[in-house]
Chains A and B, each alone.
Chain A
Amino acid sequence: MQGSSRRTGTMTDVHRRFLQLLMTHGVLEEWEVKRLQKHCYKVHDCNAPVEKLEDFIHNINSVLESLYIEIKKGVTEDDGRPIYALVNLATTAISKMASDFAENELDLFRKALELIIDSETGFASSTNILNVVDQLKGKKMRKKEAEQVLQKFVQNKWLIEKEGEFTLHTRAILEMEQHIRETYPDAVKICNICHGLLIQGQSCETCGIRMHLPCVAKYFQSNSEPRCPNCNDYWPHEIPEVFDPEKERGAGLSKPSRKSLRPRQL
């Protein structure tokens, strides 16, 4: 927890360019963040050694503190990949979206959020979400339109879609965790290992405790007889693999670079 005794860091153009570009994404995977950091160093300060990412971000966060924003690190719920998101600490959780979406669109998101939190799997089906479309506040929305709004949420990285079902994007979890825990204290699920908000995960069929998939992976790593940490019953699910950044780097290299065809921007 940041104390007011933390010395505020210094911003240079390296940090500013980094922040500007990070803002265009909202959320990025760790390897992308490192690449962004390297790029900013290259543009401004070729000779300086690239600061360790953790320290680099810590430095920026100390400056962002007075603006009630933070670059928060999280982990994807499905495969444990580290990600970074720029989150808003001051205003109510939905308000960042409030500037981009209309009243009825925000209400659709709220409805979807509730369905996701109440669901057993952490996913809400498109059908169930669309069924509440006539209960929305604001201008009347047709189902067809609602489908497009849901896609907008996906594009803006608030929701993830998998096979016609929707869950929260890690970014939404990072940004809204506190708000969700306060608003739905009875319905929220919590991970038994990390005690963080849980949307997707595995659960013990005997005692009901839940764990994030990456938390399961770490906890049961190289354990041939996984048992529930709470009731000691045999853990009935497949144990996922721990995320390995080295393996990911191999995959990252094969990503095509996006060449810009546009002339220099203004």
Chain B
Amino acid sequence: RAPAAGDMLPKPRSRGRPSSQADRDGGRGGDSRAARSAVAEEAPSTSRGAGGSQDPRRSSSQGGRPADAPLAVGPRSQKQLELKVAELVQFLLIKDQRKIPIKRADIVKHVLGDYRDLFPDLLHRAAERLQYVFGYRLVELEPKSNTYILINSLEPVEEDAELRGDQGTPTTGLLMIVLGLIFMKGNAVKETEVWDFLRRLGVYPTKKHLIFGDPKKLLTEDFVRQRYLEYRRIPHTDPVDYELQWGPRTHLETSKMKVLKFVAKVHNQDPKDWPAQYCEALAEEEDRARPQASAPSQAS
């Protein structure tokens, strides 16, 4: 029969699959398939992929699991936990691709579901996998914020850019320039000053830019949402002015020294040519090298 579109919906396994596949795979007899679907049913499911976990091809290795294994609210098997961690790792990777910080509430809603009581343990295991397998550190954006981002623990290398599939984002250039400006000007800069500076580079708040698109939106909305920048209104200013500072993601992903080196390179000079900034950058490096008791770091 022609399958209805509904068949393709990721449904809970209890709805049953098309019956004709029972004899397709010699290894799956009727009984073992029933057992397997029962087993698959209580496997954790994401709210999006409501079909629950499709049994991985290694169904043979699940042979040891009893067909009457308890439902998800009871004790969970190693396999179920492993699968949950796998889903969580994928969720974090996909979400971080868009550079939007990931909220604990979203993790619980979209991935953990009934497993929400295991959040700390599962997140910790996911963090360990992310670091070991992919080289990403899972970091809480600010202490107690329950919001997370991934930091690359591998140093990006120039040639990486040529081999990437997604071309990174061209807007990174603009971000780097603004981060440099903010640092060189004492870690905070008025929005009006930023545009005065960018105008000289042909970037205007009101004019569409060939590479950056809408620069005003980028600086005051997109980069802020991604937590690269902070955009605060300066009180008692008339006309209203805003102040731009580094956001928490910037502090986590880069350093004053790295940004200073970038600025120096652009001017074809040495970082030491700016003694005040150089000292400040050094101090930050020393600060970071010192192990801190209250350092906000890995989710634990």
Identify the A interface with B (CB < 8 A): 1-4, 11, 13, 16-17, 19-21, 23-26, 28, 35-36, 39, 43, 63-64, 66-69, 88-96, 98-100, 107, 110-111, 113-114, 118, 135, 178-179, 181-187, 257-266
Chain B positions within 8 Å of A1 at CB level: 57-58, 60
Contact A11–B162 (Cβ < 8 Å):
no
Could you name 12 residue pairs across A and B whose Cβ atoms are closer than 8 Å?
A4-B61, A67-B86, A95-B49, A96-B94, A178-B57, A185-B20, A261-B173, A262-B170, A264-B156, A266-B156, A266-B176, A266-B250
Q: How would residues 154 to 195 of chain B score, 1 for a CB under 8 Å from any chain A CB and 0 otherwise?
A: 101111111111111010110110000000000000000000
**Contact among A20, A93, A263, A264 for B54, CB-based, below 8 A:** A93
Please give 13 more A-B residue pairs, beta carbons under 8 A apart, in addition to A91-B46, A265-B172: A1-B58, A16-B154, A23-B93, A36-B163, A39-B159, A39-B160, A90-B54, A90-B83, A91-B53, A92-B51, A94-B10, A114-B5, A185-B24
Residues of B within 8 A of A184 (CB): 3, 7
From the candidates A88, A107, A257, name the one contacting B162 in the complex (CB within 8 A): A257
Nearest chain B CB to A156 CB, angstrom units: 10
Instruction: List B residues 6-21 near A (Cβ within 8 Å).
Output: 7-8, 10, 17-18, 20-21
Q: Complex formed: what's the CA distance from A4 to B1 in Å?
A: 38
A262/B161 in contact, CB under 8 A: yes
Q: Bound complex: CA of A16 vs CA of B266, how far in Å? A: 30
| A95 CA / B52 CA spacing, docked (Å) | 10
Smallest distance from the beta carbon of B262 to chain A beta carbons, Å? 6
- What residues on B are CB-neighbors of A35 within 8 Å? 163
B90 in contact (CB, < 8 A): yes
Q: Which residues of A contact B90 (CB under 8 A)?
A: 67, 69, 88, 91, 96
- B residues with a Cβ closer than 8 A to A are 1-3, 5, 7-8, 10, 17-18, 20-21, 24, 46, 48-49, 51-54, 56-58, 60-61, 82-83, 85-87, 89-91, 93-95, 129, 132-136, 152, 154, 156-168, 170, 172-173, 175-176, 228, 250, 253-254, 262, 266
B154 and A17 contacting across the interface, CB-CB below 8 Å: yes
Contacts of A258 in B (CB 8 A): 162, 167
Residues of B with C-beta under 8 A to A24: 164-166
A63 to B134, CA, bound (A): 11
**A36 CA to B160 CA in the complex, in Å?**
9
User: CA of A240 to CA of B175 in the docked complex: distance in angstroms?
Assistant: 50
Q: Which residues of A contact B166 (CB under 8 A)?
A: 24-25
CB–CB B134/A99 < 8 A: no
Chain B binding surface, main DSSP class: helix
For A19, A35, A262, the residue with the greatest tally of chain B CB atoms inside 10 Å of its CB is: A262
Task: Please tell me if the beta carbons of A186 and B134 are within 8 angstroms of each other in the complex.
Answer: no
Give chain A residues whose Cβ lies under 8 Å from the Cβ of B95: 99
Given contacts A118-B2, A183-B8, contact A90 B159 (CB under 8 A): no
Q: How far is the CA of A181 from the CA of B25 in the complex (A)?
A: 11
Bound-state CA distance A184–B21 (Å) is: 9
Q: Does A263 lie within 8 Å of B48, measured CB to CB? A: no
- Report whether B168 and A262 are in contact in the complex, using a CB–CB cutoff of 8 Å: yes
B21, B52, B133 — most chain A CB neighbours (10 Å): B133
CA distance A181 to B21 in the complex (A): 9
How long is the Cα–Cα vector from A259 to B95 in the complex, in angstroms? Answer: 28
Nearest 8 Cβ contacts at the A-B interface: A25-B165, A16-B135, A95-B49, A260-B161, A24-B165, A92-B51, A92-B10, A68-B86
- Decide: A3 and B61 in contact? CB cutoff 8 A: yes
How many angstroms between the C-alpha atoms of A114 and B9 in the bound complex? 12
Contact (Cβ within 8 A) A67 B129: yes
Contact in complex: B58, A19 (CB < 8 Å): no
Please state if B134 and A20 are interface contacts (CB–CB under 8 Å).
Answer: yes
Contacts of A26 in B (CB 8 A): 165
Whether B2 and A263, one on each chain, are in contact in the complex, defined by CB atoms closer than 8 angstroms, is no
Do A111 and B5 touch (CB < 8 A)? yes
B158 CB → nearest A CB, Å? 7
By a CB distance below 8 angstroms, the chain A residues around B164 are 21, 24-25
| Cβ of B159 to closest chain A Cβ, rounded Å | 6
CB distance from B125 to the nearest CB of A (A): 10
Known: A91-B54, A92-B10, A99-B94. A260 touches B162 (CB 8 A): yes
CA A91 – CA B45 in complex, angstroms?
Answer: 8
Decide if A19 touches B133 in the complex (CB within 8 Å): yes
